[in-house]
Structure 1
Amino acid sequence: MDVFGDLRRMNKRQLYYQVLNFAMIVSSALMIWKGLIVITGSESPIVVVLSGSMEPAFHRGDLLFLTNFQEDPIRAGEIVVFKVEGRDIPIVHRVIKIHEKENGNIKFLTKGDNNEVDDRGLYKEGQNWLEKKDVVGRARGFLPYVGMVTIIMNDYPKFKVRTLF
Structure 2
Amino acid sequence: MIVSSALMIWKGLIVITGSESPIVVVLSGSMEPAFHRGDLLFLTNFHDDPIRAGEIVVFKVEGRDIPIVHRVIKIHEKENGNIKFLTKGDNNEVDDRGLYKERQNWLEKKEFLPYVGMVTIIMNDYPKFKYALLAVMGAYVLLKRES
Normalising by structure 2, what TM-score? Answer: 0.73
- CA drift of 1:42 comes to 1.2
The Cα offsets for residues 88-128 of structure 1, whole Å up to 9 and x where unpaired, read as: 00111000000111121211000000001000110111211
CA contact (8 A) 2:70 2:90 kept: yes
Moved more, 41-50 or 153-162: 153-162
Return closer, same or farther for 1:151/1:66 CA change in 2, 3 Å cut-off.
closer
- CA drift of 1:28 comes to 1.4
> Partners of 1:145 and 1:105 in 2: how far apart?
18
Return closer, same or farther for 1:129/1:64 CA change in 2, 3 Å cut-off.
same
> Partners of 2:37 and 2:107 in 1: how far apart?
24
Query: What is the RMSD computed on CA atoms of the aligned residues?
Result: 8.0
CA contact (8 A) 1:61 1:147 kept: no
Tell me which residue corresponds to 1:34: 11
Return closer, same or farther for 1:109/1:27 CA change in 2, 3 Å cut-off.
same
Return closer, same or farther for 1:25/1:153 CA change in 2, 3 Å cut-off.
farther
Tell me which residue corresponds to 2:46: 69
Q: How many residues align?
A: 135
Task: Provide structure 2 residue ranges, at least 5 long, that are not aligned to the other structure.
Answer: 131-142
CA contact (8 A) 2:52 2:72 kept: yes
- CA drift of 1:144 comes to 20
> Partners of 1:163 and 1:149 in 2: how far apart?
29
Matched, 1:149 2:119: yes
- CA drift of 1:26 comes to 1.0
> Partners of 1:112 and 1:35 in 2: how far apart?
30
> Partners of 1:91 and 1:28 in 2: how far apart?
29
> Partners of 1:39 and 1:93 in 2: how far apart?
23
CA contact (8 A) 1:112 1:118 kept: yes
Task: Provide structure 1 residue ranges, at least 5 long, that are not aligned to the other structure.
Answer: 1-23, 135-141
